[in-house]
Amino acid sequence: MSKAVILLSGGLDSTTTLAIAKSQGFDCHALSFDYGQKQKSELNAARQVAQMFGVKNHKIMRIFLNDIGGSALTDDNIKVPKFNSNNTIPLTYVPARNTIFLSYATAWSEVLDCQDIFIGVNALDYSGYPDCRREYIKSFEAMANLATKQAIEGKKITIHTPLIDLRKSQIIRTGVALGIDYSLTTTCYQADDKGLACGICDACEYRKIGFKQAGISDPTKYQKQL
């Protein structure tokens, strides 16, 4: 069975990505990050999801992006904004986050003798982050195949992005078909310690729209009745 490293945040997209990798027969190794984000409930969700899918190994790496700041998710001086549908990159963008996460995944894949990395980026129903685009993923994959011992020795690395061209509603339908219990996932940028979602941030809004368009009841638990 081929191994795969799955970047797992505990949210809707990364959970669906894990389910897809599992359905394709990969021996899954999940990688999550305690990166200084203000809310930690997503890590509890990641633990539950990893257990639900019986991953081979689940690592939670601790790094300190809050020391850098510059994002509403890591900087106490920047408030998480309400949903805004304009085309500007929002304050919830974390500088170079996917580059950092994929670098860790690439390093772990070498240790595991693994050539497959899965990440749940999406280029359609998302907040305009530059590190969710197909051209970014292809560029990182090219770099990884230049910079790693296993690639130089002929074991080419592939970064899989099974959700990149799907609408949120399509992602949800895919996950439901694979048996995901989405009530275990946490997507909100400012969920409380119990994992209850705020219902007003970008992540909550895209999630709500996705369930509505999919015609599936939203199992998300909110801090206030919406």
Q: What is the pLDDT of residues 27-78, one digit of tens each?
A: 999 999 999 999 899 999 999 999 999 999 999 999 999 999 999 999 999 9
pLDDT for 124 equals 76
Strand partners, 197: 222
Task: Classify residue 124 by burial, with Cβ atoms within 10 Å: 0-12, 13-18, 19+.
Answer: middle
CATH number for the domain whose boundaries are 3-214:
3.40.50.620
Average pLDDT over residues 199-206: 92
Average pLDDT value for the chain: 94
Joined together, the tokens standing for residue 116 give 């497959």
How far apart (Å, rounded) are the C-alpha atoms in residues 63 and 50? Answer: 20
Say yes or no to pLDDT of 225 above 70. Answer: no
Q: For the chain, which residues make up each domain, given as ranges?
A: 3-214
Say yes or no to pLDDT of 224 above 90. Answer: no
Say yes or no to pLDDT of 86 above 80. Answer: no
Q: Side-chain half-sphere of 166: how many Cα atoms within 13 Å?
A: 19
Q: Using one digit for the tens of pLDDT, what is the confidence trace for 101-140?
A: 999 999 999 999 999 999 999 987 666 789 999 999 999 9
- DSSP letter at 183? G
| Residue 29 DSSP SS3 | strand
Q: Where are the alpha helices (DSSP H) in the chain?
A: 12-23, 41-52, 97-112, 134-147, 149-152, 168-177, 202-214
Q: Which of 82, 103, 97, 79 shows the shortest CA–CA distance to 5?
A: 103
pLDDT for 187 equals 92
Q: Which residues contact 6 (CB under 8 A, 6 or more apart)?
A: 14, 17, 18, 21, 28, 29, 30, 31, 55, 117, 118
Q: Using one digit for the tens of pLDDT, what is the confidence trace for 154-194?
A: 999 999 999 999 999 999 999 999 999 999 999 999 999 88
pLDDT for 89 equals 86
